Structure 1
Amino acid sequence: MSQINLSLLRESALFADMSDAEIASLAELFRGKSILAGKTVFIENMPGESLYLVKEGTIRISKMLAEGDEQTLVVLGPDDTFGEMAVLDVAPRSATARVIEDAHLLSICKNDFEELCDSYPALGLKLMRNIIRIFSKRIRESSEEYRDMLIWSLGRKD
């Protein structure tokens, strides 16, 4: 893979409180992918395999409704992450991610994330803390429907 510009990564909360050396190590694990508007990144209920970081473009995260329609949960842009649950557990995707505006995404797959955590536990812990901070912030700031979806996706019936 071509070298990812560290300044592009430094702007993301995913790499908060990390040194240039740590970010450079992580950059080697991320893969770039360009996706055109209208295409799907992943669909609800499919197996999850990667966490994504938006570098360019816009992504809509939505939930299927009983009537076959989709409800938008959140719209994400540059430096936002999504699909983070896929690297933390083995459950299927809890939502659908579609590209609204042509996007360039960086991703890390579950296997690479787990190898990082096994081989470099301190760096893996830093990355995991940042993933959890991003996820927690999204829960706190999001709409009631998104919170309901997250509670549902975790198997709770509060």
Structure 2
Amino acid sequence: MRQGSSSGGATNDEFLSENEEKTRDLILTLPFFDVMLGQELDLLARHMNHVALRRGEHLFLEGDPGDSMYFVVSGLFDVMKKTASGDYRTVARIGRGGTIGEMTLLDKAQRSATVMARQPAVVLLLSRKGFNVLTDRYPAIGIKLLKRIMRMLSLQMRRTTSRLADHLHEEQE
């Protein structure tokens, strides 16, 4: 993974570094951040990084410590679970506008799946440290982030429940 870094220590009235400006530009491309205002976008850019991945490169492995979430700017990712036999099965594909690893910001658990770039990709990384700084120092941003994450998790749970119900129905027939 090739990563751009942000200083994380800048104040509101300082100019963004070149890397932070690129991060801000990438943030602006994602619907997840539509609720953020100008100054909030600058603060996000200071506490996030952008990462480029090559095809076949792992974002993380199942069982890794969970310390960040990712926002997919471009590319496509396979989410794979290890089966009882030790093989991997693709359980989801996540593309532009999707998020990866959001549960770990909330529950601090290990990664529940392996995620691999199916094609060259760019993601924005929000570390737990950056998330905590944003939620502690800038509660309005923290609330917006948490509301968006909770909404996404709720939608994912509804989809999973529907898929499970369909699967159980098929097994009974």
TM-score, normalization: structure 1? 0.83
- 1:65 is aligned to 2:83: yes
Equivalent residue for 2:150, pick from 128, 132, 138: 132
Q: Does 1:15 align with 2:51?
A: no
Structure 2 residue 70 is matched with structure 1 residue 31:
no
1:116-155 alignment runs, 5 A limit: 116-142=134-160, 143-144=163-164
The answer to whether 1:76 aligns with 2:94 is yes
Match in the other structure for 1:52: 70
Deviation sequence 1:68-97 (CA, Å, 0-9, x none): 112222101111111001211221111111
Q: SS of the residue aligned with 2:119? A: strand
TM-score of the two chains, using structure 2 as the length reference? 0.76
- Which secondary structure does the structure 1 equivalent of 2:52 belong to? strand
Post-superposition CA distance 1:20-48 (Å, at most 9, x none): 22222212211011111111111111110
CA apart distance, 1:111? 0.9
Q: Which amino acid in 1 is paired with 2:157?
A: I
Separation in structure 2 between the aligned mates of residue 31 and residue 11 of structure 1, nearest angstrom: 15
Number of residue pairs matched? Answer: 145
AA aligned opposite 1:82: I
1:14 touches 1:131 (CA, 8 Å); kept in 2? no
Aligned to 1:42: 60
Contact 2:66/2:108 (8 A) holds in 1: yes
What letter matches 1:24 in structure 2?
D
**Higher RCO, Cα 8 Å, sep 6+:** 1
